[in-house]
A = this chain, B = another copy of it.
Amino acid sequence: MSQINRSAAQLNATVLANKRIGQYHQIVFGIGDLVKSCRPGNFVAIKVGGESSRMILRRAFAISRVSESVSFGGTMELIVAPHGTGSKWLCSQPEGAEVDIVAPLGTAFGIPTAPVNALLVGGGYGSAPLFGLAEVLKARGCKVDMLLGASTGAKIYAPMEGKRAVNSLKIYTEDGTMGETGRVTEPIKTLIDNREIDVIYSCGPMGMLSAISALTAGTDVVHQCAVEEAMACGIGICMTCVLPVMGEDGKIAMLRSCIDGPVMDGGQVQWQMVGQVPEGTP
């Protein structure tokens, strides 16, 4: 049997809670034993719009957290921005609704075997998977600092509970409505120059990931980023979600961000070429 999608299963998950937090919805699903296969960085693909919907493709969302509780069994939390018709539909699902999901999908953040100094950088709802990641890193003895940014305060997702797992948390908004005014990438250069961090984990808009990659380029800092490309299938069969990535052989390949990602090595992604194809294509 193939190794691709090897933990993935399709199931009807029940909405256990759906709460508005700022401009997002925090939605909790009952997914039973599937939580055991979910790792920080993985995502879920959700069927939207109900039975007779004209929307035929699933929508992808990062798994924010999973947990197991006595009363609900395994649960999975998503942080969803009501963006277009599909995500708005999801945000409108009441408690008790059943939703068709495929999970877990994609690569996970690599967890260091030894304690390291980790910087977690999240943009907008990109912070969602970082809190679960912080817990895992913390358990491994890592020092975990977090930077969150967004255009405005209502787009910062930073739950109280989540903050326990981080050593420090700093927030940046472009309009200054929360935390510092400015971009989340601003303090990173100093942190790198001062050799305060060994690895950066990032999740957020492609521009942010690209900017971080530029800062880590030529340094020893490892940059693991969760990319976000439009996906038609989420399971590797359609080839719509590709990114140019430098391979070990020094050649650029168009890799599928759904199965070779979403977590990728930021240093290998050819950011300047995203949305293009490499030279020399027939």
> Please, what's the 1-or-0 string for A81-101, where 1 marks a CB less than 8 Å from any CB in chain B?
000011001000000000000
CA distance A60 to B53 in the complex (A): 21
Residues of B within 8 A of A53 (CB): 52-54
- Asked whether A52 lies within 8 Å of B51 as measured between CB atoms, the reply is no
User: CB within 8 Å of B: which of A50-74?
Assistant: 50-55
A41 at the B interface (CB under 8 A): no
Interface SS of A by simple majority: loop
A111 to chain B minimum Cβ distance, whole angstroms, is: 39
A244 lies within 8 A of chain B by Cβ: no
Q: Which residues of B contact A85 (CB under 8 A)?
A: 51-52
Answer whether residue A234 sits at the interface, using C-beta atoms and an 8 A cutoff.
no
We find that the number of chain A residues with CB closer than 8 angstroms to chain B is 10
A49 within 8 A of partner (CB): yes
**In the complex, what's the smallest C-beta–C-beta distance from A110 to chain B, in angstroms?**
38
CA distance A89 to B50 in the complex (A): 11
**Which residues from 28 to 62 on chain A have a C-beta closer than 8 Å to any C-beta of chain B?**
49-55
Residues of B within 8 A of A54 (CB): 52-54
Chain B residues closer than 8 Å to A50, beta-carbon distance: 50
B residues less than 8 Å from A51 (CB atoms): 85
In the complex formed, the residue of B with least CB distance to A51 is B85
Minimum distance in angstroms from A96 CB to a CB of chain B: 13
Instruction: Give me 7 other A-B pairs in contact (C-beta within 8 A), A50-B50, A52-B53 excluded.
Output: A51-B85, A52-B54, A52-B85, A52-B86, A52-B89, A53-B53, A54-B54
Q: Can you list 12 residue pairs at the A/B interface with Cβ under 8 Å?
A: A49-B52, A50-B50, A51-B85, A52-B53, A52-B54, A52-B55, A52-B85, A52-B86, A52-B89, A53-B53, A53-B54, A54-B54
